[in-house]
Amino acid sequence: MSLYNKRGVSAQKEEVHAAVKNLDQGIFPNAFCKVYPDYLGNDPEFVNVMHADGAGTKSILAYLYWKETGDISIWKGIAQDAVVMNLDDLLCIGVYDNIVFNSTIDRNKHLITGEVLEQIISGTQSLFDTLKTAGVTIHYLGGETADVGDVVRTVAVNGTMTARWPKKEIISNDKIVAGDVIVGFASYGQASYEAEYNSGLGSNGLTSARHDVLSKFYAENFKESFDNNLPEEVVYIGKNRLTDEVNIDGTDISIGKLILSPTRTYAPVLKDLLSKHFDKIHGLIHCSGGGQTKCMKYLPGNFRVIKDNLFAVPPIFDLIRQNSGSSLREMYEVFNMGCRMEIYCSPDHASIMIDAAEGFNIDAQVIGRVEASDKKQLIIITAEEKIIY
C-alpha cells in the first residue's frame, strides 16, 4: 500500500466516484465539469454550471507556516488556491467570464483568529480585482463562515463557482481525435501576473508533500495538524523545517514558500485563447487530482495518450520524491510534475497555444500526442522509465 493510501487519501478518489456514479452526468459527459441545461433562464441556447472545490490540506501548511514564522499574509495564498481550483476547472469547459463565487470557511475558532479570516476574505477579493484587469470578471457574493471546532482541526477553505454560458461555446472534449497533439502549460516559474516564483505544486497531493518533506518536529509540536490515529511511520517523515532554504536559479527560497506557492491560474491565457481561437481547441484538461493521469477520465473514446516530452521536473517535486522515496509512477499520478494545464489541438495550431502562454511568461510546449487505440491508455516516457497506465 502506498504512503498516500496509508494516510487515508486517494489520488484517484475511487470511493468518491463510486458514490456519485448514478448521478446525472450532465449534457456533455466528457467535459471537465458537469454541464446542465439552463435551469436558471430556461433558454435552450444556454447552459448552467456549478463547481465546488477548495484549498484542501494546503491550509494546514499555511497554519504551520503562520505559527512558525508569524507571517499572516500567507493566508492570502490559500484564498487564491480555493478560487483557482474552481476557476481553472471551469476554464476547461470554456467558461472564463461573468462568474459568481461563494466561499465556505470552516474553522476551529480557538486556533484560527479573526485576523486570519480577514486575510482569506480580503485575499479572495484582491485576486478577483487582479483577474478583472485581464478581462475575467468574478462576482464575490460572500458565503458561509462557520465555527466548527468539533469537526475541523484548524481550517478548511472552500468555494463554489456558478455561471450561465452559451451552449455553443462549451469545450466538451468531444472533438479530441487521434492525431491531436497536447500542448502543456508549465505550472512553475513566474508568470507576468505573478509577484514571485511559483514552485508549481498547486493544491493537489499536499498530504503527501507535507508528511514526506517535513520532519517530526511538526508531529511533536502541532498535533492539531494531523490525524492522530495515523501510524507514526507515515506522519511527518521528512528531514526539513518550513524555514529551511533551497537555492533555485541563484535565489534562496524557503521550503515553506515553495510548498505554499499559490496555485497558478491560467485564466488570462485561456481567456485570450478561448475568445480568439475557440474552434481550434479540441479539449482542455486541468492536471489537478490525479496529476498527469487526469486526462484518462475525460477522453471521448478509446485513445492512447503518449506524453514523451514533459517539462523537466521542477525542484519541489524532486524534493518530495527524495524525502518520500516514492516511485515515479506514484509521483505522476499524485502530482502535476510541472505541467498543470493541457490543450488538445491539431498539430497545425500548437504554435498558437504556445505563443499565447509565452506572452504571459509561461513556458509551453508540445508534451505529447493522441493515437488511435482499442482501449484507453496513457504512456508517460521519461529519461528514467516508461510508465503505462
**Residue 75: predicted pLDDT:** 98
What band does 296 get if pLDDT is binned at 50, 70 and 90?
A: very high
What band does 23 get if pLDDT is binned at 50, 70 and 90?
A: confident
Rounded CA-CA distance 259/240 in Å is 12
Average pLDDT over residues 292-315: 97
Residue 3 reports pLDDT greater than 90: no
Given 3-state DSSP classes, what are the helix, strand and coil percentages for the chain, each rounded to the nearest 5? 35, 25, 40
Average pLDDT, the chain: 94
**Percentage of residues in the chain having pLDDT higher than 90:** 93
**Residue 25: predicted pLDDT:** 79
SS3 63: helix
What band does 24 get if pLDDT is binned at 50, 70 and 90?
A: confident
**Residue 13: predicted pLDDT:** 55
Residue 2 reports pLDDT greater than 70: no
What band does 17 get if pLDDT is binned at 50, 70 and 90?
A: low
Q: Note the pLDDT tens digit of each residue in 177-191.
A: 999 999 999 999 999
SS3 312: coil
Q: Note the pLDDT tens digit of each residue in 111-147.
A: 999 999 999 999 999 999 999 999 999 999 999 999 9
SS3 23: coil
- Identity of the amino acid at 179: G
What band does 15 get if pLDDT is binned at 50, 70 and 90?
A: low
Fold type of domain 3-196+261-388: 60s Ribosomal Protein L30; Chain: A; (3.30.1330)
Residue 19 reports pLDDT greater than 70: no
Which cell is 239 given?
528531514
The answer for residues whose C-beta is within 8 angstroms of residue 273's C-beta and 6 or more apart is: 281, 343, 352, 353, 356
Look at strands 364-372 and 181-186 and give their pairing: antiparallel
**Residue 22: predicted pLDDT:** 63
Q: Note the pLDDT tens digit of each residue in 327-373.
A: 999 999 999 999 999 999 999 999 999 999 999 999 999 999 999 99
**Residue 252: predicted pLDDT:** 95
**Residue 14: predicted pLDDT:** 63
**Residue 55: predicted pLDDT:** 97
**Residue 11: predicted pLDDT:** 54
Residue 5 reports pLDDT greater than 80: no
**Residue 237: predicted pLDDT:** 95
Read off the pTM.
0.93
Q: Note the pLDDT tens digit of each residue in 161-174.
A: 999 999 999 999 99
